[in-house]
Amino acid sequence: DVLDPERLIQCPYNKHHRIRAARFPYHVVKCKKSYPEVAKELATCPFNARHLVPRADLTDHIMKCSDKGILEEDIGKRTTSTSREQLNAGSTWEAPPCEEDWE
């Protein structure tokens, strides 16, 4: 199960490390410091910071990332609802009274 916090995930910095999903973000930060040469070769997915892929494969990963659809769907819902709200609400802004006399 993808949402199970107890499932084991392989560390992108050291293939021998297997970390519980709940601890993965903390482990990655620690391992990144321990393996700076490997860290230089990896890129972070813009849709899910837990996805660390080789820089050469980032474009391919972005096209196929399973989290891309979820994010695009969420953005689409927000954009649509915000646009409707703006159309329905109209502008209620009024300029403040001006007390200056330039003449």
Residue 50 DSSP SS3:
coil
Domain membership flag for residue 87: no
Residue 26 DSSP SS3:
helix
Q: Name the pTM for this structure.
A: 0.61
Domain membership flag for residue 60: yes
Give pLDDT tens digits for 3-60.
Answer: 899 999 999 999 999 999 999 999 999 999 999 999 999 999 998 888 999 999 999 9
Q: Residue 59 belongs to what domain range? A: 8-66
Distance of CA 17 to the CA centre of its chain: 24
Domain membership flag for residue 35: yes
Domain membership flag for residue 52: yes
Quote the CA–CA distance of 22 and 74 in Å, as a whole number.
Answer: 24
Within 8 A by CB and 6+ apart from 51, the residues are 44, 45, 61, 65, 67
Note the pLDDT of residue 92: 72
* CB distance 31 to 47 below 8 Å: no
Domain membership flag for residue 101: no
pLDDT at residue 73 greater than cutoff 80: no
The secondary structure of residue 72, as a DSSP letter, is H
Residue with tokens 């769907």: 73
Domain membership flag for residue 32: yes
Number of structural domains in the chain? 1
* CB distance 40 to 30 below 8 Å: no
